[in-house]
């Protein structure tokens, strides 16, 4: 299976909207607004075009991942949200490819760490650990097991402590 991971282009916006909507349509832990969140975040000052990636299979977008800037104290990190793969393409390592490529590009751009609110059995495969281990806290009530951080650069989170400040678009509807 030949999957191409590349930066999202302006002409991909509608297809990405559809992919994200479909990916979360039947998700248990979802407010089913992720597709609109992606659109809001694209217009945010915390949007990083290089970290809005798509997975292409046979000239069709089958997955998308977005990382946006967040603040923790005086440090700038990134948040992974959301990662979306079409239901019929799930369990084919597309999410894994998107996350690994996103982490690689983020490290090249100088980001020291990433935060995710997600499945505590999935994200540790990519090095994510409880954010509390780094002294990083969520700005909302959340299971400690589901709120995770990963160092993108060795020792990248050693001087990062505090409550995460997300883009305001995360909290709008």
Read off the pTM. Answer: 0.95
Domain ranges of the chain: 3-171
pLDDT at 29: 73
Mean pLDDT of the chain: 95
Q: How far is it, in rounded angstroms, from Cα 122 to Cα 13?
A: 27
123-157 residue pLDDT tens:
999 999 999 999 999 999 999 999 999 999 999 99
84-114 residue pLDDT tens:
999 999 999 999 999 999 999 999 999 999 9
pLDDT at 68: 98
Token digits for 159?
């001087």
CATH 3.40.50.720 fits 3-171, yes or no: no
**Which phi and psi (to 5°) does residue 82 adopt?**
-95, 170
Q: How far apart are the first and last CA of the chain?
A: 37
């Amino acid at each position: 299976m030949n999957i191409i991971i590349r930066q999202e282009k302006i002409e991909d916006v509608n297809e990405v909207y559809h992919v994200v909507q479909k990916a979360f349509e039947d998700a248990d832990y979802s407010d089913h607004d992720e597709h609109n969140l992606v659109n809001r975040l694209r217009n945010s000052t915390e949007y990083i075009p290089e970290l809005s990636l798509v997975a292409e299979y046979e000239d069709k977008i089958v997955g998308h991942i977005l990382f946006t800037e967040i603040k923790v104290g005086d440090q700038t990190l990134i948040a992974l949200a959301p990662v979306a793969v079409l239901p019929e393409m799930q369990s084919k390592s597309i999410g894994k490819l998107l996350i690994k490529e996103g982490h690689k590009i983020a490290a090249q751009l100088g980001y020291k760490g990433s935060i995710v609110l997600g499945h505590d059995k999935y994200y540790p495969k990519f090095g994510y650990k409880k954010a509390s281990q780094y002294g990083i806290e969520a700005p909302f009530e959340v299971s400690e097991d589901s709120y995770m951080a990963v160092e993108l650069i060795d020792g990248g989170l050693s001087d990062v402590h505090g409550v995460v400040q997300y883009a305001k678009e995360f909290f709008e509807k």
